[in-house]
Amino acid sequence: MQEYRANANKIKVRLCDKHEDQPYNVGCRDCLSLCCVNCLSGLKNCTSTGVSHQLCSLEELSSELKQDIDALTSKLGNKEGEWASLSKAASMLLSDFISETERFVHCLHKTKDEQIKELTSRYENLEAEFVKQRQAIQAKISQFIEADVNEDCSNFFIERSRIAAKLRQNHQVCTFVNAL
What residue ranges bind Zn ion (CB under 5 A)?
16, 18-19, 28, 30-31, 36, 38-39, 46, 53
Greatest Cα-to-Cα distance within the chain, rounded to the nearest angstrom: 188
Q: Which of residues 49 and 91 has its CB atom nearest to Zn ion in the complex? A: 49
Positive or negative torsion for Cα 29, 35, 37, 43:
negative
Q: How far is the CB of 59 from Zn ion (least distance, A)?
A: 18
CB of 2: closest distance to Zn ion in angstroms?
23
Instruction: Give the residue nearest to Zn ion (CB).
Output: 28
Identify which of residues 18 and 168 has a Cβ nearer to Zn ion in the complex. 18
- Closest distance between Zn ion and the C-beta of residue 99, in Å? 58
Nearer to Zn ion, 3 or 21 (CB): 21
